[in-house]
Homo-oligomer: A and B are copies of this chain.
Amino acid sequence: MTTPFPKSPTFLTIDEPFRFEGDLYDLEVEGTIPAELDGTFYRVGPDQAFPPMLGDANPFNGDGMVTAFNIKNGHCDMKMRYVLTQRLAAERAARKGLFGHYRNPYTDDPSVKHLSRAVANTNVVLHNGVLLAMKEDALPYSMDPHTLETKELYNWNGQVTATTFTAHPKIDPATGEMFGYAYAAKGEASDDIAIYGFDKLGNKTWEVWFKSPYPGMIHECAISEHYIVLPLMPQVMDLERIKAGGILFQWEPTYDHMYLVMPRGGDAKDLRVFRAPNAMPGHVINAFDDGGKLYLDLPVASDNVFWFFPDKNGHAPAPPSLRTDVTRWCFDMNDKNSAGVPTVMSNLAAEFPHCDDRYVGHAYRYGFMQALDFTKPYNADRAGPIMGFFFNTFLTMDMSTGKYKSWFAGDTSSTQEPVFAPKSANAPEGEGYVIGVVNRRDEHRSDLVILDAQRMDEGPVATIKIPVRLKYGIHGNWVPSVANK
């Protein structure tokens, strides 16, 4: 018998498990899907397939469920599949949960200790014709980008020996080279970091190992023409704590957050660490360098966002009490004694950004994000499942000024991470569409909306109706068909 899922914050009614894999051919559309859109919007999020063995579970613990929205000739088809991980296969065979606490292998059922704990629920990235379902605590799984069939736990044909790999690699649009990194790269709580580069055919071009200043979470990275940056968060791992059955991460309110900068192709000795006051760096919008000055754009939260990873006293701030500033850091790579200099571009609570992928690592103008517009109705009783609140707005921000054009999704709607699709391969930067899932909470279903990125305030050009409720995804990407043959 399948026990019911716990009625806990992780399995809130508003985001309860969905678990239905399938295909929906030719979604109903209101408005008009732009004829020039030709590609796939891939997204992934946690959707726990079995009630957790130890009761409640961390919201990031759910099995990765991938959605592909294929858009062509004004039509949109949808496909949803679980990443069929070793973990999911084992739980299906047993017809029950077998894995213990989040990133704590010491709490698993003994029957699964030889298996990968990967849930592959954080991002889906296409590189070298392989769709990678990624989560930073394990290696990714490869999937067929067209059928979403799961292939294998992926170590780049033996080229990667780290036990983990980020969910946020970056692809240089000029070369097709992909950069990624591993933290806790020699096992949970280890302070080992590895950075990897792969050319457009998946051949390893770079590998460097070094020690982290402290064994903290590194969720993101950024590349510029000459550098890669890893923001280190004061969420700190401890091996003894998980051996005792505890939580891997603990917020350390006295720790600096840091930016680890490495020249592309560099050695461990080339690492430079920029310290910054205690805060929580968020998702990268973009980075670029110019004459030895490295610029990094990202939202920075004033305190710990992850209420489920509190400090040693069990304290975490209520998510709505946090301040999030969209920040541009400048790191002077020519002055060895310089500190990073932050400039607040906007105090809008914006997150889950993308830039125009054709400008990753290069000077750019536009960021595309979701935000929580606090001037709109906000109902704390219906707080969001992962970040503790619902985003409600999509926007295009001019990163040269911090000004933005936005679209509010509605009083009973909430947004998920949007992506950007250019109107054509040669369109000017930011000429294209912001595409994202909106949950219609009172209707228990979702829409996929398409907005003109330069005319966000005019509302969707197309609203693609989804007859089911998509659980809150984490990240995704737009892949033009020409890049996905």
Contact = CB atoms under 8 A, between A and B. Distances in A.
Nearest to A25: B92
Given A26-B50, A92-B25, A74 B19 contact: no
Interface string A45-60: 0000111000000000
Nearest to A92: B25
A323 B16 CA distance: 41
Contacts of A16: 467
Interface string A13-49: 0001111111111111110110000000000000001
Interface residues of A, number: 37
A56 to B, nearest CB: 15
Interface stretch (A1-9, A118-126, A417-425): A1-9
Contacts of A24: 19-21
B50 A29 contact: no
A4 B75 CA distance: 12
Main secondary structure of the interface of A (DSSP, over half): loop
A326 to B, nearest CB: 36
A16 B445 CA distance: 12
Interface in A420-468: 443-445, 465, 467-468
A29 B5 CA distance: 9
Contacts of A229: none
A80 B24 CA distance: 11
Given A75-B2, A444-B444, A23 B20 contact: yes
B26 A92 contact: yes
B21 A17 contact: no
B23 A22 contact: yes
Contacts of A32: 1
Contacts of A382: none
A393 to B, nearest CB: 25
A459 to B, nearest CB: 17
Contact of A444 (B1, B2, B17, B445): B445
17 contacts: A2-B75, A3-B29, A4-B28, A4-B29, A17-B28, A19-B24, A19-B25, A19-B467, A20-B22, A20-B24, A20-B467, A25-B49, A28-B51, A75-B95, A444-B444, A444-B469, A467-B468
Given A1-B29, A2-B28, A3-B29, 4 more contacts: A1-B75, A2-B29, A17-B28, A26-B49
